[in-house]
Chains A and B, each alone.
Chain A
């Protein structure tokens, strides 16, 4: 029996007030350490690794923008859920 590797994708909307800002990017990279799946975020033709803070910031995902999240691996579903939670969360803002 082979272990099924799932590859899934989902479009998520950034509802955070400041967008995918430094705090969310940091939390995302840290959270991804607990997942085995390969996760990428795609926006306006730009594709970045969910484990790269620089990539996430350069994605310039401002509030309201839509991001396609693609995950490949044994825990892909959970990984996407976690990403969704982080970019939706009503974060406290930096002010």
Chain B
């Protein structure tokens, strides 16, 4: 990385008090495509069509305005078709390019095309005005849609409308997306799919965008292009200038403008580590997670939410699904998913992983998150309210449908049932009783299902840990849900910025709770798995092995690195580190101890989160 050539002028600007060129300017957004990009910002200027000329036209002008509008639409459609034809079929964006077809169809859409012409004729508005009114009508109709993905499509009609408006207003500054200098980081308020599609992949190293979330097309396309991207940065296109050196960390959602040489150096290292990993890790994914001395093997599985994620899980080396979340089937809709719909979804995952096990977690949300007709609103404290298994036992109709679907899907492979948020023995007794009742019903109907479906609980409430010896006798396996367990045990809301500094996976209290669970597992002879984020962070791995965890389930992308670490260490080392950690009194001390050990033992090999060690 060369130093920015304008370093001197930058200092001058700084002295004038402008923060535009402040060194190490941090902007936080949402990381939507992982990886680190370091390059020169190319700020894509925002062509404002917000202020368009408005005037009432004479009746005789109407045909002329309509013709002008038709011409503008025609040339917009031609331009989109050209962009599409210039992109060859081998383009890495592949079939995401369908969105350009969507845009072409939007231009031809009656609501848009005829609607504008009608407004010109009846309201006597000039074409720009009529069009912007129609666009406003259409986009505000999208605003009322509850579903996030569909609501985001208002951006598409906005892009299309803007293209026509520009033609009408004679603004012909087509963004020169295909003529970018090498090592560009694209900085923009928003990018249309047409903009993204024209980008020459070789010259771009990342994206930093004001607008959008995970379902924006920029995010989707960046992931297809395997380029780091951060969206939702709100003002990055205003504070960064073309030519500024900029770092985009798509893994943490951080953008750093004008980094000082030390920061650049740190991120270069990070990038290097990241790149090396990508090359070497996939090989590790394929290998079993056995400690170096061969004395312990751990099943490494993936947490997934959609059936489509099986591919990525398998390619990263998962040996089954340790947590299949079922909430997506229930969210963002007014009714409940039918038994058939759930059955199809579960069977797909069970079949896709056979013979590896798939652990399906029953509905784990609060009543406020699903179907409006549940009437569970107004809870002062939803995290401690009617949710997860409590909700299921309260609404047996919903629970029955889900259990039937899981029992039937389980007949197609290796499946386990996981019950979230168990906090007392009565709940597990009631669950087992009801499960038996549902099985009897299925048997009476002559349905095909898995009679011996393994049953486990998610240990995530402190009271469940306190009685884990009793609970362990009731079930076939235990799974530790660390995200909630840590929040409940430490009384910290992780997303509350005032207290989240207290959230620490290696808090001595948490380690003791985990030890209590793994001990109960050994005594009762039931396997213990872990499916929270803690399971996917290398720094925790030696201790988790030392405590005797049998299965670790994590985000698919974390699998290769965790396998690599497990294969590099011996059980003796794990036991020794665990003993050492248990002698310490503070989370920070334990962190430093483990990180220092890993970094010393495997210099540069493991990608540890530096924001943590500096805190």
The answer to whether A and B interact is yes
Binary A-proximity of B144-156 (CB < 8 A = 1, otherwise 0): 0111011001001
Chain B contact residues: helix, strand, loop or mixed? helix
A94 near B: Cβ within 8 Å? yes
User: Which A37-89 residues sit within 8 Å CB-CB of chain B?
Assistant: 49, 51-55, 57-58, 60, 62-65
B123 interface residue per 8 A CB criterion? no
With CB as the reference atom, state the residue of chain A lying closest to B221. A94
CB of B111 closer than 8 Å to a CB of A = yes
Contact partners of A64 in chain B: CB under 8 A = 333, 335-338, 341
**What residues of chain B lie closer than 8 Å to A21, measured between beta carbons?**
149-150, 153
In the assembled complex, the CB of B341 is this many whole angstroms from the nearest CB of chain A, namely 6
Contacts of A25 in B (CB 8 A): 102
Interface string of A9-22 (1 = CB under 8 A from B): 00001010111011
Residues of B contacting A58 with CB < 8 Å? 138, 141-142, 145
Alpha-carbon distance between A19 and B215 when the two chains are bound, in angstroms: 14
Cα A46 to Cα B223 in complex, Å, equals 35
Check if A53 sits within 8 Å of B98, measured CB to CB: no
- The reply to whether the CB of A2 lies closer than 8 angstroms to some CB of chain B is no
Q: Is B379 part of the contact surface with A, judged by Cβ < 8 Å?
A: no
Complex-state Cα separation, A13 to B344, whole angstroms: 14
User: For residue A64, which residue of chain B has the nearest CB?
Assistant: B333
In the complex, chain B residues 551-607 whose Cβ is within 8 Å of any chain A Cβ: none
Number of interface residues of B (CB under 8 A): 41
Using known A-B contacts A17-B308, A64-B333, A93-B306, determine if residue A22 contacts B156 with beta carbons closer than 8 Å. Answer: yes
Chain A neighbourhood of B306, CB < 8 A: 17, 93, 95
Residue of B nearest to A28 (CB): B105
Q: Tell whether, in the assembled complex, residue A62 and residue B333 are in contact, meaning their CB atoms are under 8 Å apart.
A: yes
Bound state CA distance, A55 and B108, in angstroms?
12
Chain B residues, Cβ within 8 Å of A30:
101, 105
Does B434 belong to the interface (CB within 8 Å)?
no
B106 interfacial by beta-carbon distance below 8 Å: yes
Q: Beyond A62-B333, A93-B308, is A53–B106 a contact (Cβ under 8 Å)? A: yes
Given A52-B109, A52-B111, A53-B106, A18 contacting B335 (CB threshold 8 A): no
Q: Within 8 Å CB of A26, what residues of B?
A: 98-99, 101-102, 105
Chain A proximity mask over B442-462: 1 for CB below 8 Å, otherwise 0: 000000000000000000000
Q: Are B308 and A92 in contact (CB under 8 A)?
A: yes
B453 CB, nearest partner CB in chain A, Å: 25
Complex CA gap A26/B333 in Å reads 22
Q: Out of B99, B109, B145, B348, which one reaches A22, CB within 8 Å? A: B99
Contact A19 B147 (CB under 8 A): yes
Write the B241-262 contact mask toward A (1 if CB under 8 angstroms, else 0).
0000000000000000000000
Determine whether B266 belongs to the interface, using a CB cutoff of 8 Å to chain A.
Answer: no
Closest to B312 in A: A95
B9: shortest Cβ distance to chain A, in Å? Answer: 43
- Give B270 Cβ to nearest chain A Cβ, in Å: 25
Tell me the smallest distance from the CB of B340 to a CB of chain A, in Å.
9
Complex: A13 Cα to B341 Cα, angstroms: 10
Task: Please name the residue on chain A nearest to B101 by beta carbon.
Answer: A26
Contact A19 B109 (CB under 8 A): no
| Residue of A29, A52, A57 most packed against chain B (CB within 10 A) | A57
Interface bits B90-130 vs A (CB < 8 Å: 1, else 0): 00000010110110011001111000000000000000000
- Answer whether A65 and B333 are a contact pair too, CB < 8 Å, given A18-B149, A58-B142, A60-B147: yes
CA separation between A55 and B98, bound complex, in Å? 18
State A65–B336 Cα separation when bound (angstroms). Answer: 10
Chain A residues whose CB sits within 8 angstroms of the CB of B102 once the complex forms? 22-23, 25-26, 53
CA distance A63 to B308 in the complex (A): 16
Kindly provide the distance from the CB of A41 to the nearest chain B CB, expressed in whole angstroms. 14
A59 to chain B: closest CB distance in Å?
9
Chain B residue numbers with a CB within 8 Å of A51 are: 110
CB contacts under 8 Å to A, within B293-308, are: 306-308
A65: nearest chain-B partner, CB-CB: B333
Chain B residues 322-343 with CB under 8 Å of chain A are: 328-329, 332-338, 341
A57's partner among B98, B150, B332 (CB-CB below 8 A) is B150
In the complex formed, the residue of B with least CB distance to A18 is B149
Query: A53: which B residues are within 8 A, CB to CB?
Result: 102, 105-106, 109
Find chain B residues with CB under 8 A from A93 CB: 306, 308
- Distance (whole angstroms) from the CB of A48 to the closest CB of chain B: 9
Q: Is B220 an interface residue (CB 8 A)?
A: yes
List B contacts of A60 (CB < 8 A).
145-147, 150
Q: Is the CB of A94 within 8 A of B220?
A: yes
Question: A65–B337 Cα gap in the complex (Å)?
Answer: 9
Give the complex CA separation of A35 and B7 in angstroms: 64
Residue B157 at the chain A interface, CB threshold 8 Å = yes
B147 close to A49 (CB less than 8 A): no
Contact of B332 among A52, A62, A90 (CB under 8 A): A62
- CB of A54 within 8 A of CB of B112, answer yes
From A15, A23, A49, contact of B98 by CB (8 A)? A23
How many whole Å from A38's CB to the nearest CB in chain B? 13
Chain A contacts of B336 at CB under 8 A? Answer: 64
B204-242 CB contacts (< 8 Å) to partner A: 214-215, 220, 223
Kindly list chain A residues whose C-beta atoms are within 8 Å of the C-beta of B335. Answer: 64-65
Q: Is the CB of A49 within 8 A of B110?
A: yes
- Contacts A26-B98, A62-B333, A64-B335: A15 and B344 contacting too (C-beta < 8 A)? yes
Q: Using Cβ atoms and an 8 Å threshold, which residues of chain A touch B105?
A: 26, 29-30, 53
Give the residues in chain A near B344, CB-CB below 8 Å. 15
Give 4 nearest A-B pairs by CB, closest first: A53-B105, A26-B102, A60-B145, A54-B109
9 contacts between A and B (CB under 8 A): A25-B102, A53-B105, A53-B109, A57-B150, A63-B329, A63-B341, A65-B335, A93-B306, A95-B306
Assuming A26-B99, A62-B147, what are 17 further A-B pairs, CB within 8 angstroms? A17-B308, A19-B149, A19-B150, A23-B102, A26-B105, A52-B109, A54-B106, A54-B109, A54-B138, A55-B111, A58-B142, A63-B333, A63-B337, A64-B335, A64-B336, A95-B220, A95-B223
